[in-house]
Structure 1
Amino acid sequence: MEFFDLLSYPFFQNALLGSLLASIACGIIGTYVVVRRLVFVSGGITHASMGGLGIGFFFGWNPILSALIFSILSAFGMEWLSSRQGVREDSAIGTFWSLGMAIGIIFIYLKPGFAPNLSDYLFGNILTITSLDIIYLAILSVILLVVFALFRREIMYAAFDPDFAKTRNLPVNTIKYIMMMFIAVTIVLSIRLVGIVLLISILTVPQMTANLFTSNFGKIVLLSVLIGFVGCILGLFLSVVLDVPSGVFIIFVQIIIFLLLRGVIRLTQKSKQRVGA
């Protein structure tokens, strides 16, 4: 099937637009996650969202909405336990990670019959993305762009130097909770892209690739958005042609891009060293 033939289908057009918007949101939040070393936190929130999905399936609610609420509460719970209750951060993450998965599995098994489209949420199927999903991703992307354009310094101060931030009268704890909320929202709204099982990769792999070329926060965001979108397009197209799950192939392509670029950079560095010697 030709690429331009695929473009004539509305579901594929939605998939491309959803990929772009998800790449923007994940590019911004993923960079924050990577530079703040919150990868394990994002993994905990991702798997905790399973609890919200299970509750949604059981009561017949919108599973994305219930997962969104559950994930935000889980993110707040992790932050509260680790910062206010003296619980180690990894222990707090592990607690909510396991709790969300347990609740999700319990409610899914209690639901008569098989949960519809469960594999799409676990492994991703961006071809099923709807116009409403695109609207939500567009709103999230715009909000994140505005927030980071206006308050990037304040966010960075609160993240890396909270004592200095407090001397500037910045609401450090409020900023942390807001960022945890954004992480949770971005994760849930991107579930259809690659699924719960692999979602942590789309928040880290493009950023790792971008970090090969620069350490500047803004440049990492821009490069990770570009790398993420290119990976989505290639993975989406190849998944349709080869008839494999789109989420799995998107992540596979992005990892291949990272390995290839890393290999090229290392070879270039070695050749320069040889010339210099």
Structure 2
Amino acid sequence: MNTVIDLFSYDFFLNAFWASFFAAVSCGIVGTYIVSRRIVFVSGGITHASFGGIGIGYFLGWSPLLGAAIFAILSGWGIQLFTQKGKVREDSSIAIWWSLGMAIGIIFIYLSPGYAPNLMSYLFGSVLTVSTTELYLMGALSLVLVLFFALFYRLILYVAFDEEFAKTTGLPVNLINYLLISLIALTIVLNIRVVGIILILSLLTLPQATANLFTKDFKKMMVISVLFAFIGSFAGLLFSFYVDIPSGASIIFTLVLVFALMKLAFYIRQKLLSRG
């Protein structure tokens, strides 16, 4: 059996390692904003709507991820537009774009000529098959997110916790909202290959739930979320490799296990302190 060090001699495992790292950075940062802003289900709507872009991409002969990225961004803008301008309830707007994206994806995949593509890696993830090009894109996105959140940290903080106050101070709230929803969409799409459409929402929320046990501070929560996202992703990757099970499910299972262990540790600690 290969040791962990031996695994790094394989290109596919090295790519998977870096994919796990970049996924941890992007999902850790964006997920903290999503959880703090309480727009988890908006992100879920964008995630499932992106399937429409995958179907269109296959039909037109494009890269499925390019189609998914375009459709995900447009869906995110659509949810915002329907809610703000169309006066549609946010949950209804999410449901509309969620179902529309899934329906369009199924229709265009069915209409695509030739053999129907294998969609398992998009639905459930396959980090071991992440290509070098996808890796560069994930790295570029992680860098953009780090720079964006570092440069506009205070502005993002105002929008995340008190949007009405931010508007009264004359801050470009709508512009920031559309930029952030675009970055959320790109984060979702570029990490689809890691854990899949079905499970990506967990990668955007579980590390944050674990980090929230340690701190309520937004900045610290981002850093700790990245750390736990990487621990869960890499441990899940190793688990999937040695047990020979799907990597996406393995990563999410590991993240849930880490959260449960941390929660249990905090519970035991509180009980001991209360007795003391």
CA-based RMSD of the aligned residues comes to 1.1
Mapping for residues 44-55 of structure 1, pairs under 5 Å: 44-55=45-56
TM-score normalised by the chain length of structure 1: 0.97
Read off the aligned partner of 2:258 and give its amino acid letter: I
Give the Å deviation of 1:114: 4.1
Instruction: Find the aligned partners of 2:69 and 2:135 in 1 and give their Cα distance.
Output: 16
CA contact (8 A) 1:57 1:115 kept: no
CA contact (8 A) 1:159 1:176 kept: no
- In the alignment, structure 1 residue 63 sits paired with structure 2 residue 64: yes
CA contact (8 A) 1:27 1:207 kept: yes
Give the Å deviation of 1:133: 0.9
Instruction: Find the aligned partners of 1:207 and 1:191 in 2 and give their Cα distance.
Output: 19
Aligned counterpart, 1:228: 229
Instruction: Find the aligned partners of 1:166 and 1:35 in 2 and give their Cα distance.
Output: 18
Aligned counterpart, 1:16: 17
Aligned counterpart, 1:160: 161
Give the Å deviation of 1:74: 0.2
Deviations 1:93-113 (A, max 9, x none): 000000000110111122244
Aligned counterpart, 1:122: 123
Instruction: Find the aligned partners of 1:114 and 1:207 in 2 and give their Cα distance.
Output: 40
CA contact (8 A) 1:210 1:220 kept: yes
Aligned counterpart, 1:81: 82
Give the Å deviation of 1:5: 2.0
Read off the aligned partner of 1:21 and give its amino acid letter: F
Deviations 1:175-233 (A, max 9, x none): 11111101000000000000000000000000000001100111111111111111111
CA contact (8 A) 1:82 1:92 kept: yes
Instruction: Find the aligned partners of 2:96 and 2:78 in 1 and give their Cα distance.
Output: 10
SS of the aligned residue for 2:229 comes to: helix
Which stretch shows the higher mean deviation, 104-113 or 75-84? 104-113
Aligned counterpart, 1:35: 36
Percentage identity across paired residues of the two chains: 54
Read off the aligned partner of 1:185 and give its amino acid letter: L
CA contact (8 A) 1:19 1:229 kept: yes
Aligned counterpart, 2:96: 95
Mapping for residues 99-178 of structure 1, pairs under 5 Å: 99-178=100-179
**Are residues 6 and 115 of structure 1, via their aligned partners in 2, closer, same or farther at CA, if it must alter by over 3 Å?**
farther
- In the alignment, structure 1 residue 251 sits paired with structure 2 residue 216: no
Instruction: Find the aligned partners of 2:167 and 2:90 in 1 and give their Cα distance.
Output: 22
Which stretch shows the higher mean deviation, 246-255 or 147-156? 147-156
Aligned counterpart, 1:181: 182
Q: How many equivalent pairs are there?
A: 275
